[in-house]
Homo-oligomer: A and B are copies of this chain.
Amino acid sequence: MSNPLLVVSAHAGDFVWRAAGAIALAAERGDRVRVVCLSYGERGESAKAWREGKKLEEIKELRRAEAEAAATALGAEIEFFDAGDYPLLETPELTDRLVHVYREFVPAVVLTHTLSDPYNGDHPAAARMALQARILAQAIGYDAPGEPLGAPPVFFFEPHQSEQCDFKPDVLLDITPVFERKERAMTCLPAQQHMWEYYTDLARRRGVQLRRNAGPNLGLAHTTMAEAYVRFYPQTTGILA
C-alpha cells in the first residue's frame, strides 16, 4: 500500500534543509513524494545571486534548477507555483491551486512550515494555505476535480530558530539510513553553503535527543541523525508506543 507524501514549501530550498530526511525515507520505501514550492525564494533567499548582480528571471531559473536537482537526489517530484516571495501573499487563488493538488495527488501525509515564524512571513503564509487547502479539499461540495480528501496527518518541519517559532518537537524521525542522501541534496544548493554545516549539526543534535528519548537500551548508534517535527492533529492509532 502506497502512502504518498506531499510537501508544501514556501521557497525553493526549504524542503531540503528541513525535510530531506523524511522525503528520502518515503522515497526509499517506494512512496511517491511531491514537493510544491510556492515560490523560488528569488527575493528573500537568494542574497548571494543578488550580490553577484544577477537579474530576477535569472535567479528564478537558478533556484529552480537547484531545487529540481535536490528533489531528484531525494527521489521526489517537484512543482513550482511561481507565486512570488517576500512577500508570499496568501490568496484564494493560490489556496485553490493547492486544493487541486490535494485532490489529484491524494497525500497520505503532509509536511509544511510552522504557523509562527517571527523571522519570515512567507513561511506561516505557506502553512496557512496548506492547512486551509487541506480542509477545503475534504469538502465534497468544493468545486474541484477528484474525490473528497480523507484526513492526512500534517507535520510541521523545523524552522531555522526553533524556540522563537514556538516549535516544540513531538516527533523525532530517525534519518540515519538516508542522511547521505540529505547531504547530497544539500550540496545541490551551493549558494547557501553555510547552511550545510548548520543543518548537519542540527541533525546530529536531534539524533542525540532521539537516542535519549528512545532509551539507551535500543542500541542506536552514536551517529544517529534525526529530523524534528510537530504534529498538528492528534495521532490516531491502535497501539500506544
Q: A interface vs B, CB < 8 Å?
A: 3, 5, 22, 25-26, 29, 42-44, 46-47, 50-51, 56, 59, 86-87, 89, 92, 95, 108-109, 111, 118-121, 131-132, 135-136, 139-143, 148-153, 155, 160-164, 166-174, 194, 198, 201-202, 204-205, 208-210, 212-218, 222, 228-229, 231-241
- The number of times this chain is found in the oligomer is 6
**Given A151-B213, A217-B150: A141 touches B86 (CB 8 Å cut-off):** yes
**Given A141-B59, A213-B233: A240 touches B109 (CB 8 Å cut-off):** yes
List 18 contacting pairs A-B, 8 Å CB cutoff, sorted by A: A29-B239, A50-B141, A86-B142, A118-B232, A119-B135, A119-B212, A149-B215, A151-B212, A153-B241, A155-B240, A160-B212, A163-B163, A163-B168, A164-B168, A170-B170, A170-B231, A171-B236, A198-B208
In contact, B171 and A240 (Cβ under 8 angstroms): yes
In contact, B202 and A46 (Cβ under 8 angstroms): no
In contact, A238 and B118 (Cβ under 8 angstroms): no
Say which residue of B155, B212, B235, B238 sits within 8 Å of A170 (CB atoms): B235
- List B contacts of A131 (CB < 8 A): 118, 121
